[in-house]
């Protein structure tokens, strides 16, 4: 399969008055055509910021650097802003978490969808309207003609998120980045939106990067998963490798802190403490303060990625030769 997005050693730093926040500290990520990659982690782990960095959507005080940032053969780091906008607008669609704050309340839905399309493609209003209607039907919005005349506040949360998805697929992108697309929605509506994303992906062959903190969404949607913590990727693998043979203590912690599907009464095992402060991140492993298996060496240097299979790698000293053997007992009974 063809490689669509390839990023190496992405670093993003925010220069704010109290110091430099190192939000992303060397992330490698690649996405193949048509595949769904999940990025999971807690708030502040850098999962959203890394994707916003790729799209150049961060404010000026963010400093972004990368050894390699290639989208479909084009090096994104060397592009002028104008050329970049052409690529990102055409080929990468973005879906944000909260549809209410990402739509302009002062314009009708139709205006918001038609105008950018006209600017982007240089087509007439009538042509743009036809394309918008087609996309609205594609995202299963009932009665799209009358919806286009409505303002965002007149629509329900699920409907607004469908509008956002329509906006993201407007120019037939090759890649959709969905940043917590269902976190603000109720479960039954979440199920509708996830189904819609999956069916669109089948129809259009788009690759999807799914940013979420919900392991359930990951398990149902993604083929590959990156687990992020403290600005670095701590484990990467296929969805089965991450859920059934996780190797990083943070992944273990995440899996153990959610209730079992079978509903058996079992004490939840929380991860003690809270994530590190990224203004002064620990020099060693970011998880060291909360890790039950931490060793002295973990305090001093960030462990390298250990390759476990073609697809599976993790960043932990326990995988070194000669480290004490700690076995994941699994969270299934």
Give residues in contact with another protein (CB under 8 A): 42-43, 156, 158-159, 186-192, 194-195, 213-220, 239-240, 243-244, 253-255, 257-259, 261, 263, 265, 267-272, 274, 332
Q: Which lies closer to another protein via its Cβ, residue 108 or residue 192?
A: 192
The size of the chain, in residues, is 333
CB 33 within 8 A of CB 174: yes
Q: Which lies closer to another protein via its Cβ, residue 219 or residue 294?
A: 219
Query: Cα dihedral sign for 218, 222, 227, 231?
Result: negative
Burial of 148 (0-12, 13-18, 19+ CB in 10 A): buried
CB 52 within 8 A of CB 27: no
Shortest reach from residue 66's CB to another protein, in Å: 27
Shortest reach from residue 162's CB to another protein, in Å: 11
Shortest reach from residue 201's CB to another protein, in Å: 16
- Determine how many CB atoms are found less than 10 A away from the CB of residue 117: 22
Shortest reach from residue 147's CB to another protein, in Å: 13
Shortest reach from residue 115's CB to another protein, in Å: 27
Shortest reach from residue 213's CB to another protein, in Å: 6
Give the distance from CA 177 to its chain's centroid.
Answer: 6
277 Cβ contact list (under 8 Å, min separation 6): none
Shortest reach from residue 232's CB to another protein, in Å: 17
Q: Which lies closer to another protein via its Cβ, residue 83 or residue 191?
A: 191
Burial of 136 (0-12, 13-18, 19+ CB in 10 A): buried
Q: Which lies closer to another protein via its Cβ, residue 76 or residue 197?
A: 197
Give the distance from CA 247 to its chain's centroid.
Answer: 21
Q: Which lies closer to another protein via its Cβ, residue 175 or residue 239?
A: 239
Letter string b/e over residues 3-16, b meaning 16 or more CB atoms within 10 A of that residue's CB = ebbbbeebbbbbee
Shortest reach from residue 223's CB to another protein, in Å: 9
DSSP assignments along 65-98, one per residue: E-SEEEETTEEGGG--HHHHHHHHHHHEEEE-S-
Q: Which lies closer to another protein via its Cβ, residue 153 or residue 267?
A: 267
Q: Which lies closer to another protein via its Cβ, residue 65 or residue 238?
A: 238
Q: Which lies closer to another protein via its Cβ, residue 71 or residue 250?
A: 250
Cα 263 from Cα 286, distance rounded (Å):
32
Residue that has been written with the tokens 């992303």 in this structure: 24
């Amino acid at each position: 399969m063809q490689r669509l997005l390839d990023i190496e050693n992405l670093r993003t730093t925010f220069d704010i008055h109290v110091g430099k926040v190192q939000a992303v500290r060397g992330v490698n990520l690649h996405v193949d055509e048509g595949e769904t990659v999940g990025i999971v982690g807690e708030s502040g782990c850098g999962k959203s910021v890394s994707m916003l960095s790729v799209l150049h959507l961060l404010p000026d005080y963010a400093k972004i650097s990368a050894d390699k940032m290639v989208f479909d053969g084009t090096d994104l780091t060397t592009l002028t802003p104008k050329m970049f906008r052409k690529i990102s607008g055409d080929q990468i669609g973005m879906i944000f978490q909260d549809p209410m704050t990402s739509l302009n309340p002062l314009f009708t839905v139709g205006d918001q969808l038609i105008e950018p399309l006209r600017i982007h493609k240089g087509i007439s209003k009538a042509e743009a309207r036809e394309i918008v209607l087609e996309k609205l039907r594609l995202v299963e919005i009932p009665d799209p003609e009358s919806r286009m005349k409505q303002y965002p506040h007149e629509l329900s949360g699920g409907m607004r998120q469908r509008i956002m998805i329509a906006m993201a697929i407007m120019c037939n992108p090759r890649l959709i980045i969905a940043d917590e697309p269902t976190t603000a929605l109720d479960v039954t509506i979440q199920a509708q939106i996830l189904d819609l994303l999956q069916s669109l992906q089948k129809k259009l062959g788009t690759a999807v990067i799914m940013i979420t903190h919900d392991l359930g969404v990951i398990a149902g949607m993604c083929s590959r998963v990156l687990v992020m913590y403290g600005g670095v990727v701590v484990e990467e693998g296929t969805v089965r490798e991450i859920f059934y043979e996780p190797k990083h203590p943070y992944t273990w912690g995440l899996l153990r802190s959610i209730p079992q599907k079978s509903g058996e009464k079992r004490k939840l095992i929380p991860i003690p403490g809270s994530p590190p402060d990224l203004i002064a991140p620990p020099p060693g492993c970011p998880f060291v303060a909360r890790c039950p298996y931490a060793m002295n060496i973990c305090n001093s240097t960030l462990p390298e990625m250990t390759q476990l299979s073609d697809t599976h790698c993790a960043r932990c000293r326990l995988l070194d030769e000669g480290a004490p053997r700690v076995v994941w007992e699994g969270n299934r009974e």
